[in-house]
Amino acid sequence: MTHSLHRKGNIEDLKRDYVILAMLAAGINDKYPDSRKKLIRIGEILNEHNPINIMPKKLWRISPIITATFSNIKSVKKVLKVLKKENLGVSIVISGLLSDIKKTTEDVGLSIHTVHLSLGTFGKKELLPSEKILEITTMCGHHCISSQSVEYYVQLIKNGKISVKEAVKKLTRPCVCGIFNLSRAVQILNTLVE
């Protein structure tokens, strides 16, 4: 799930930011009569473990994936235990700090199949917004949350026209995949308005 690899932040912040994606494999398990039921069951499991954000339920029936974001590795571990027990045969991808994910999968009795790493940002980095703004925009892997939107809401917050939590709700609307971490966004916006 490379679109969730490029999240910015320090290690302490990223310890509160884990994305789980369940995906049907085209041509392998996407045509079975019960594939959709299995994917929806995974969505239910993700939802039962208090995600910070999750793909809207109305999309579960039409999308080949279901995604959710969690604010701690303990919740991820609980989800993995249930998924292992139910053995639904659907690919699961976890994004976050590799050291935490590796330990958690080992604790649950699972092994990591593949690792994708972000090698950073190359090119004319001087054209990028500030690191704090990138911490917010990179939480939407499809880049539906622009730096201009973040700057706009920061200004509204500074002018007392909107609360931080309301700004995060508005910023999140374009990101329908469920990987935007709302609690991290509140924390980051608070630092931007200080």
pLDDT at residue 171 above 60? yes
Q: Can you tell me the distance from the alpha carbon of 192 to that of 14, in angstroms, rounded to the nearest whole number?
A: 18
pLDDT of 152 strictly over 60: yes
Q: Is 13 a residue whose pLDDT tops 90?
A: yes
Model confidence at 28: pLDDT above 80: no
The model's pLDDT over 29-77, given as tens digits with 9 standing for 90+, comes to 777 778 889 999 999 999 999 999 999 999 998 898 999 999 999 999 9
pLDDT at 1 over 60: no
Convert 142-152 to b/e letters by CB count within 10 Å (16 or more is b). eebbbeebbee
The whole-angstrom separation of Cα 137 and Cα 8 is: 9
Q: Which residue has the higher pLDDT, 167 or 4?
A: 167
Domain 2-108, CATH: 3.30.70
Average pLDDT over residues 89-101: 94
pLDDT value at residue 169: 96
Q: Where do we find the tokens 């935490």?
A: 100
**pLDDT at site 43:** 97
Is 177 in contact with 147 (CB distance < 8 Å)?
Answer: no
pLDDT of residue 190 exceeding 70: yes
| pLDDT value, residue 5 | 82
Q: Who contacts 182 (Cβ-Cβ below 8 Å, separation ≥6)?
A: 52, 53, 69, 168, 172
Angle at 4 between CA 29 and CA 170, to 5 degrees: 110
Average pLDDT over residues 129-142: 94
Name the band, by pLDDT with cuts 50, 70 and 90, for residue 104.
very high
Tell me, what's the pLDDT at 20? Answer: 97
- What is the residue extent of each domain of the chain? 2-108, 125-193
Listed in sequence order, the residues at least 6 apart from 35 whose beta carbon sits closer than 8 Å to its beta carbon are: 24, 29, 90
Per-residue pLDDT, averaged over 8-19, amounts to 95
pLDDT band at 25 (very low <50, low <70, confident <90, very high): confident
